[in-house]
Amino acid sequence: MIVRTGGRRARARDAAVKARSWRVAAIAVAASAGVLAFVGAVVIVAGVYNVAASVEHLYVTDRLIEFTLHRSISVRSASIEAPSLEDDDLVRLGAEHFSSGCAPCHGNPDRPQNPIVARMYPAPPPLQNAVSDWAVEELFWIVKHGIKFTGMPAWPGEGRDDEVWAVVAYLRQLEVSPADDPRHLREREQASGDLPLAALGEPDVESCARCHGGEGSPPISDRVPVLHGQNARYLDRALHEYRDGTRASGIMAPVAAGLAPGEIDYFARYYSSLTSTASGTSKAASGDVQYGREIAERGIPADGIPPCLVCHSGRASAAFPALAGLSATYLNGQLDLWRRGLRDRTTYGAIMAPIARRLAPEQIDAVTTYLSILARSEGSAESVRQGAIGDD
Amino acid sequence: MTSNRRYFVSLLVVAAILPASACDHVQSALAPRGEEAIAIDVLFWTVTITSVTVTVLVTGLTVVALWGPERWRVQLSQERAIYGGGLLLPVVVLSILLIWALFILEAGASRTRTAGEPAVTITGKQWWWKVAYRTADGREIISANELRLPVGEATAIALKTDDVIHSFWAPQLAGKLDMIPGRTNVIVLEPTEPGVSRGQCAEYCGGAHALMAFHVVAMAKADYEAWLAREAVPARVPTTEKQRAGQRVFLENGCGACHTIRGTDADGTIGPDLTHVGSRLSLAAATLPNDEQAFARWITNNQHIKPDNLMPPFKQFAPEELTAVASYLDSLE
């Protein structure tokens, strides 16, 4: 109004007033920022803020952190698609890894949390009700990525989402039917039956046998490879690769990292000396057996696919694994890792990588089915010939 | 100024190098050593000389038309000159050239008919050549990346491909002929003198196309037959301890899944047949020399030498294993 009626001079005066008020506001903001920075510096330098785990956050801080946490996890897990988790093999594998990888901090249903861990801040929550607190996709995200400033680590095996889902499947099972906890079932079986492993006065194979089985017992899951009768030199190499991190697995890496060289050698020879009791059947074994046999024995030259058994049988170096009798689920899973570029960092893995990428899905189904029903004795290098050139 | 001069200098350098590089002749169509290439050479020079003559003639007439004496210019502007020089002369010259070319190149592929059944089949692969010789008694002898031919005899060669389009070109012996999926083309080669020349895939066939070459060895008929008889026998048995160790390394590391060495368990067909690999002039389709170091380099590092070729890198060997297997392969003559 004033501008309209007051003419040019009034307009100029008004502009000056406006500029002055902006300047005042800017100075006020700068001054308060300065004061805040100064107070903050004093608080930090004088050690006023208490980082003690024994002292809880302020209520406001707590709510803010919790809100941030939930929003972050919810948004970042939005694009994840869960596979089917109703799979006993997945649950059993997850359960065993939970025992060694998660339970030390989170406790388990029948063992209270370690009092030392309980004084962490934030304390690792018990996971019996994890599924009612979080969606399975969110649990997957948490297990895979970990959470900053909480002590929750990220998954150590790069690209091994399949292993992360095993843990999530187990957490889900815990909530859905706690009585079927596979760990309980196994403990009951072991309490009733004799456990030949305990008789060994050598390095304790219990940590291997929990998943891979031992003398007279098969692996606990289709997803876990049968090691019985496997080439010792291959097993030795695989454990070293897990330990170096060149072969990725969040389940095997922590186990292998804790092994001394002598123990690696011992376990490799131990499993190599066992006879397989695995049934050889497998849920994933649904391919065309005849076609699989042709691929394994003669390859498909037109597609650049060499015959598997030239390397993976008694004719070749013991540094190659024997594939006969491994479950189709396991073989499929490993070929999938190669096809996704996750298993080519090792010397031997680099040989298999281009070949795995040439296989079509129906060829993979056929050949893994055939190999899974092939008897192990037909495939172990050391059962046919002692050692390889490097061992001579 | 400077950039102009630099451009001029580099042009001079290129002009100096071009003829120099053609001087070693192993892959030059201008140094023909086969009946087909000689015909092409004759045709090339006929057409080139005719073209130069016509160009000089036209340029001369243009100069005359612009600056020539009055009398000549009047002659040139007559209709007679237009019909004669513009219509009649080209028709006559081009017709003679056409007939000459059809005659020289034996149009109608009569040579393919007279040369008989193909005695050799070459199959193009990314990025090497599988070479199969058919012996008199009907056996097929597989080799790779090298073609041996008898001098003075027309040999028909079937050209096939296992993957994409390649083109077989041995410039000293003949022109190019494509290898087309689902089709068998036949080329006839007849070397006129013994000697080694080089050929090259002449149709872009993927990343390592430039590294898909081969050697052609023309031999006197008797030498050729002796060579083919040697090629037909199984691989030489290793004689030294090192070679025996090399053979064990070869067989135990799965090499036989893709390569054949006749006389051993190795019977793969995905990669080149190695039965007599030590006697070839080169490795990896005329990419590497044929010696122990080159074998070792290829085994461990082939993806850098020829990216995306089908062979995986084999880096698991201890140094003594690698030299042993290289020495074994080199001994397969």
How far off is chain B from A216, nearest CA to CA, in Å? 31
> Between residues A12 and A252, which one has the greater pLDDT?
A252
Residues of B whose CB is below 8 A from A317: 252-254
Contact A294, B231 (CB under 8 A): no
How far off is chain A from B47, nearest CA to CA, in Å? 44
Sorting pLDDT into bands at 50, 70 and 90, what band is A49? confident
Q: Mutating which of B253, B259, B302 best tests the A interface, going by the most A Cβ atoms within 10 A?
A: B253
Q: Which residues contact A239 (CB under 8 A, 6 or more apart)?
A: A252, A256, A259, A264, A267, A268
Cβ <8 Å between A347 and B316 = yes
Q: Which pLDDT score is estimated for A4?
A: 54
Cβ <8 Å between A310 and B253 = no
- Asked if residue A382 and residue A294 are part of one domain, the reply reads yes
pLDDT digits (tens, 9 = 90+) for B60-75: 999 999 999 999 999 8
How many CB pairs below 8 A link A and B?
A: 60
Apex CA A198: angle with CA A194 and CA A200, to 5°? 125
Cβ <8 Å between A316 and B269 = no
Strand partners, B175: none
Q: Which pLDDT score is estimated for A198?
A: 36
Q: How far apart are CA B202 and CA B214, in angstroms?
A: 12
Q: Which residues contact B282 (CB under 8 A, 6 or more apart)?
A: B145, B146, B213, B215, B288, B289, B290
Q: Mutating which of A297, A305, A308, A351 best tests the B interface, going by the most B Cβ atoms within 10 A?
A: A351
Does residue A121 fall inside a structural domain?
yes
Q: How far apart are CA B256 and CA B258, in angstroms?
A: 5
Cβ <8 Å between B268 and A310 = yes
Please check the confidence at residue A278 and state whether its pLDDT lies above 70: no
Interchain contact A384–B (C-beta under 8 A): no
Contact B169, B202 (CB under 8 A): yes
Q: Which residues contact A351 (CB under 8 A, 6 or more apart)?
A: B254, B312, B313, B314, B316
Centre a 10 Å sphere on the Cβ of residue B265 and count the other Cβ atoms it contains.
11
Sign of CA dihedral B216, B221, B222, B228: positive
- Nearest residue of B to residue A320, measured between CA atoms: B253
Residues of A whose CB is below 8 A from B312: 350-355
Centre a 10 Å sphere on the Cβ of residue A353 and count the other Cβ atoms it contains.
20
Does residue A190 fall inside a structural domain?
no
- Specify the DSSP element, H or E, that contains A174: helix A161-176
Q: Mutating which of A310, A345, A367 best tests the B interface, going by the most B Cβ atoms within 10 A?
A: A310
Please check the confidence at residue A306 and state whether its pLDDT lies above 80: yes
- Nearest residue of B to residue A295, measured between CA atoms: B257
Question: Could you give the number of structural domains in chain A?
Answer: 4
Q: Which pLDDT score is estimated for A380?
A: 46
Residues of B whose CB is below 8 A from A304: 270, 310
DSSP A116: H
Q: Which pLDDT score is estimated for A315?
A: 78
Cβ <8 Å between B245 and A389 = yes
Q: Which pLDDT score is estimated for A204?
A: 77
Q: How far apart are CA A385 and CA A383, in angstroms?
A: 6
Highest mean pLDDT among A201-205, B36-40, B312-316: B312-316
Q: Which pLDDT score is estimated for B3?
A: 55
pLDDT digits (tens, 9 = 90+) for B162-221: 999 999 999 999 999 999 999 999 999 999 999 999 999 999 999 999 999 999 999 999
Interchain contact A302–B (C-beta under 8 A): yes
Domains of chain B: 20-232 (2.60.40.420), 241-330 (2.60.40.420)
Task: Record the pTM.
Answer: 0.81
Q: Which residues contact A319 (CB under 8 A, 6 or more apart)?
A: A231, A233, A234, A237, A348, A388, A390, B316
Does residue A54 fall inside a structural domain?
no
Point out the domain boundary residue: A176, A194, A225.
A176
- What average pLDDT does the structure give for chain B? 91
Q: Which pLDDT score is estimated for B286?
A: 94
Contact B278, B330 (CB under 8 A): yes
Sorting pLDDT into bands at 50, 70 and 90, what band is A392? very low
Does residue A162 fall inside a structural domain?
yes
Interchain contact A319–B (C-beta under 8 A): yes
- Asked if residue A268 and residue A302 are part of one domain, the reply reads no
Strand partners, B201: B168
- Asked if residue A267 and residue A228 are part of one domain, the reply reads yes
Please check the confidence at residue A257 and state whether its pLDDT lies above 80: yes
Token digits of residue A338:
């190669």
Percent of chain B residues past pLDDT 90, beyond the cut: 81
- Asked if residue A171 and residue A106 are part of one domain, the reply reads yes
Sorting pLDDT into bands at 50, 70 and 90, what band is A197? very low
Does residue A144 fall inside a structural domain?
yes
Cβ <8 Å between A354 and B245 = no
**Out of A301, A347, A390, closest to residue B315 by CB:** A347
Closest CA to B35 of B145, B129, B112, B133: B112
Instruction: State how far the alpha carbon of A210 is from the alpha carbons of A91, A195, A294, A311, A329, in Å.
Output: 14, 11, 35, 30, 19
Closest CA to A128 of A57, A179, A82: A179
Residues of A whose CB is below 8 A from B270: 299, 301, 304-306
Three-state secondary structure call for residue B143:
strand
Sorting pLDDT into bands at 50, 70 and 90, what band is A281? low
Interchain contact A389–B (C-beta under 8 A): yes
Q: Is the ipTM of this complex over 0.90?
A: no
Please check the confidence at residue B224 and state whether its pLDDT lies above 90: yes
- Asked if residue A382 and residue A293 are part of one domain, the reply reads yes
Mean pLDDT throughout A71-82?
Answer: 95
Strands (E) across B165-287 are located at 166-169, 177-179, 185-189, 195-201, 213-219, 282-283
pLDDT digits (tens, 9 = 90+) for A159-193: 999 999 999 999 998 877 666 666 665 554 444 33
Contact B166, B201 (CB under 8 A): yes
How far off is chain B from A354, nearest CA to CA, in Å? 7
Cβ <8 Å between A316 and B252 = yes
Cβ <8 Å between A389 and B252 = yes
Residues of B whose CB is below 8 A from A320: 254
- Asked if residue A217 and residue A151 are part of one domain, the reply reads no
Q: How far apart are CA A92 and CA A224, in angstroms?
A: 10
Three-state secondary structure call for residue B246:
helix
pLDDT digits (tens, 9 = 90+) for B225-270: 999 999 999 999 999 999 999 999 999 999 999 999 999 999 999 9
The dihedrals phi and psi of A373, each to the nearest 5 degrees, come to -100, 0
Instruction: State how far the alpha carbon of A126 is from the alpha carbons of A77, A82, A117, A170, in Å.
Output: 21, 23, 11, 14
**Out of A305, A310, A355, closest to residue B312 by CB:** A355
Contact A77, A141 (CB under 8 A): yes
Does residue A371 fall inside a structural domain?
yes
- Asked if residue A216 and residue A146 are part of one domain, the reply reads no
How far off is chain B from A226, nearest CA to CA, in Å? 23
**Out of B248, B313, B316, closest to residue A319 by CB:** B316
Q: Which pLDDT score is estimated for B244?
A: 96
- Nearest residue of A to residue B244, measured between CA atoms: A389
**Out of A311, A315, A389, closest to residue B321 by CB:** A389
Does residue A71 fall inside a structural domain?
no
User: Around B156, how many Cα atoms within 13 Å sit in the side-chain half-sphere?
Assistant: 15
CATH of the domain at A166: 1.10.760.10
- Asked if residue A39 and residue A125 are part of one domain, the reply reads no
Please check the confidence at residue A58 and state whether its pLDDT lies above 60: yes
Q: Which pLDDT score is estimated for A126?
A: 86
Does residue A198 fall inside a structural domain?
no
Q: Which pLDDT score is estimated for A111?
A: 74
| DSSP per position, A25-50 | HHHHHHHHHHHHHHHHHHHHHTT-S-
Please check the confidence at residue B90 and state whether its pLDDT lies above 80: yes
pLDDT digits (tens, 9 = 90+) for A223-251: 999 999 999 999 999 999 999 889 999 99
Interchain contact A350–B (C-beta under 8 A): yes
For tokens 């149009």, what's the residue?
B107
Contact A299, B257 (CB under 8 A): yes
Q: Which pLDDT score is estimated for A173?
A: 87
Q: How far apart are CA B144 and CA B125, in angstroms?
A: 11
- What average pLDDT does the structure give for chain A? 85
Residues of B whose CB is below 8 A from A390: 318, 321
Q: Mutating which of B126, B244, B252 best tests the A interface, going by the most A Cβ atoms within 10 A?
A: B252
Centre a 10 Å sphere on the Cβ of residue B158 and count the other Cβ atoms it contains.
18
- Asked if residue A381 and residue A306 are part of one domain, the reply reads yes
pLDDT digits (tens, 9 = 90+) for B100-138: 888 887 765 667 777 788 999 999 999 999 999 998 888
How far off is chain A from B249, nearest CA to CA, in Å? 7
Sign of CA dihedral B89, B91, B97, B103: negative
**Out of A351, A353, A390, closest to residue B314 by CB:** A351
> Between residues A122 and B111, which one has the greater pLDDT?
A122
Cβ <8 Å between A354 and B312 = yes
Q: Which pLDDT score is estimated for A200?
A: 36
- Domain region containing A380: 289-386
Please check the confidence at residue A201 and state whether its pLDDT lies above 80: no
